[in-house]
Structure formats: C-alpha cells, structure tokens
Amino acid sequence: MKQGIHPAAELQTIHCVCGASYEIRSTKKLSKLDICASCHPYFTGKQKYVDTAGRVEKFKKRYGGFAKP
C-alpha cells in the first residue's frame, strides 16, 4: 500500500438496539445499529409473524367501497 493516501481506520464500538455491542475498524464515525447478527431473524431462526388476516380485513373495511361495480 502507498503511504499517506489511505484514510485512518480507527477502532470504534457500535451498539445495537438489542443491547449487543461490537468493536470494528472504520473510517466513519458509527455509533448505533438498527439490527445485528444477534437479533436478526435470519441468524436467530426466530421469525415474527404479522397478523395478516386482521390487516387485510382492515384494508377491505376501509377501501372496500372503492371497488369497481
């Protein structure tokens, strides 16, 4: 690597909203994550199911009158 042309990567600690914290090297100032490997459904195997039936019924109730006759 050429000297003097690369930005300095500093050791920083970032915190996730789930409470996990990680130390990384970065050239940018980071402080928070919305989701990480500790709380992401793909890595944890836990999925959150949304009540789709209730949402569909609510949508039909609200916009059902706009259907073409």
Better-scored residue on pLDDT, 14 or 55: 14
Residue ranges of the domains in the chain?
10-63
Q: Please provide the average confidence, as pLDDT, over all residues in the chain.
A: 79
Q: Is the pTM of this model over 0.75?
A: no
- Residues 24, 16 contacting (CB under 8 angstroms): no
Residue type, 9: A
What is the CATH code for 10-63? 4.10.80
What pLDDT score does 62 carry? Answer: 85
Which of 6-10, 15-19, 48-52 is predicted least confidently?
48-52
> CA-CA distance, 36 to 42, in Å (whole number)?
10
Which tokens in the block code for residue 1? 């690597």
